[in-house]
Amino acid sequence: MIDVQAAEALLRHNRPKLVDAGRITPNWSDDGARFSYQVTRSGADHTYEVDPTAGTRNEIEAMPTPPGTGDFLAVVSPDGKHEVFRKGPDLWLRTVSDGSERPLTTDGEVDYDYGTSPFAIKILLGKLGLPHLPSAVAWSADSRRILTHQLDSRLVREAHLIDVLPDDGGAPELLTQRYAYPGDEHVPLAQFVVLDVETGAAVRAQSEPFVLSLLSPIARKWAWWSGETVYFLDQPRDQRTLELKRLDPTTGEVSLVVSETAPTRIEPNQFMDLPAISRVCGDEVLWYSQRDGWPHLYRYDVRTGELLGQITSGEWSVRQLLHVDLAERVVYFTAAGLVDGSPLRRTVCRIGLDGSGFARVTNDDLDHEVAVPPNGGYFVDSASTVGLAPVHTVRSWTGQLLVELEAADSTALVAIGWQPPEEFRVLAADGVTELYGLLYKPHDFDPTVRYPIVDHPYAGPQTNRVVPTFDPGLYGAEADPMAALGFVVVVVDARGVPGREKAFHDASYGNYSAGIDDHVAAIRQLAETRPWMDLDRVGIFGASGGGYSTVRAMGEFPEFFKVGVAESGNLDNRYYLQAFGETYVVPPGLPATTDGSLLDYADQIEGKLLLMHGGLDDNVHPHHTLRLTERLIAAGKDFDLLVLPRAEHIMIGYEHYVVRRRWNYLLQHLAGVTPPPYQLKPATLDLSFLSKLTG
AA identity, residue 348? V
Q: What pLDDT digit, counting tens, does each position of 395-408 carry?
A: 999 999 999 999 99
- Does residue 428 contact residue 465 with C-beta atoms inside 8 Å? no
Q: Is the dihedral angle over the CA atoms 526, 532, 538, 540 positive or is it negative?
A: negative
475/78: higher pLDDT: 78
Q: What is the 3-state secondary structure (H, E, C) of 288-346?
A: EECCCCCCEEEEEECCCCCEEEECCCCCCEEEEEEEEECCCCEEEEEEECCECCECCCE
User: Residue 126 pLDDT more than 90?
Assistant: no
Distance (Å) of CA 566 to CA 32, 217, 354, 616, 658:
45, 32, 50, 17, 11
CB burial of residue 188 (10 Å; 0-12, 13-18, 19+): buried
Q: CB of 313 within 8 A of CB of 296? A: yes
| Residue in 38, 30, 40 with CA at minimum distance from that of residue 49 | 38
Q: Which amino acid is at 506?
A: D
Ramachandran angles phi, psi of 423, nearest 5°: -80, 135
Give yes or no for residue 425 having a pLDDT over 80: yes
Q: Is the pTM of this model over 0.85?
A: yes
Element (H, E) at 664: helix 655-666
* pLDDT (0 to 100) of residue 120: 65
Higher pLDDT, 683 or 613: 613
pLDDT at 261: 97
Please report which confidence band the pLDDT of residue 391 belongs to, taking 50, 70 and 90 as the band edges. very high
Q: Is the pLDDT of residue 689 over 60?
A: no
Segment 427-472, tens digit of pLDDT: 999 999 999 999 999 999 999 999 999 999 997 899 898 999 999 8
pLDDT recorded at residue 468: 94
pLDDT band at 694 (very low <50, low <70, confident <90, very high): very low
pLDDT at 690 over 80: no
Spell out where 222-266 has E strands.
Answer: 223-226, 229-234, 241-247, 254-261
- Cα(461)–Cα(451) distance, integer angstroms: 30
**Structure confidence at residue 695 as a pLDDT band (50, 70, 90):** very low
Q: DSSP assignment of 195-227, as one string? A: EETTT--EEE-SS--EE--SS-TTTTTSEEEET
Whole-number Å distance between alpha carbons of 689 and 687: 5
The length of the chain is 695
244 in helix, strand or coil? strand
Cα separation, 485 vs 670, whole angstroms: 12
DSSP string, 461-528: TTS-SS-SSSS-HHHHTTHHHHHHTT-EEEEE--TT-SSS-HHHHHTTTT---TTHHHHHHHHHHHHH
Query: How many Cα neighbours within 13 Å face the side chain of 229?
Result: 19
Order of strands, edge to edge, in the sheet holding 44-51?
Answer: 27-28, 35-41, 44-51, 56-60
User: In angstroms, rounded to a whole number, what is the distance separating the alpha carbons of residues 357 and 255?
Assistant: 34
The pLDDT value recorded for residue 686 is 59
Mean local confidence (pLDDT), 179-195: 96
Question: Average pLDDT, whole number, for the chain?
Answer: 94
What span, in angstroms and rounded, lies between the C-alpha atoms of 294 and 338? 13
Where does 367-458 have alpha helices with state H? Answer: 411-415
pLDDT at res. 685? 63
- What is the rounded distance in angstroms from the CA atom of residue 230 to the CA atom of residue 248? 7
**What is the enclosing helix (H) or strand (E) of 445?**
none
**At residue 692, does pLDDT exceed 60?**
no
Alpha helices in 19-151 (DSSP H): 122-127
247: left (phi over 0), alpha (psi -120 to 50) or beta: beta
Q: How would you class 629 by CB atoms within 10 Å of its CB: exposed for 0-12, middle for 13-18, buried for 19 or more?
A: middle
What's the whole-number mean pLDDT along residues 197-217?
93
Architecture of domain 4-17+412-693: 3-Layer(aba) Sandwich (3.40)
C-alpha 385/C-alpha 612 separation (Å) is 33
Helix 516-528 with 545-556: angle, nearest 10 deg: 70
Residue 119 confidence (pLDDT): 74
pLDDT tens digits along 241-265: 999 999 999 999 999 999 999 999 9
Q: What is the pLDDT of residue 209?
A: 95
pLDDT in tens, 284-298: 999 999 999 999 999
pLDDT in tens, 73-119: 999 999 999 999 999 999 999 999 999 999 999 999 999 999 998 87
Exposure string for 22-38, b = 16+ CB within 10 A, e = fewer? bbbebebbeebbbbbbe
Question: Is residue 48 a contact partner of residue 35, using CB atoms and an 8 Å limit?
Answer: no
Q: Beta partners for 477?
A: none
CB atoms inside a 10 Å sphere around CB 440? 26
Q: How far apart are CA 286 and CA 544, in angstroms?
A: 35
> Cβ of 353: how many Cβ atoms within 10 Å?
21
**Between vectors from CA 395 to CA 290 and to CA 323, what angle results, nearest 5°?**
35
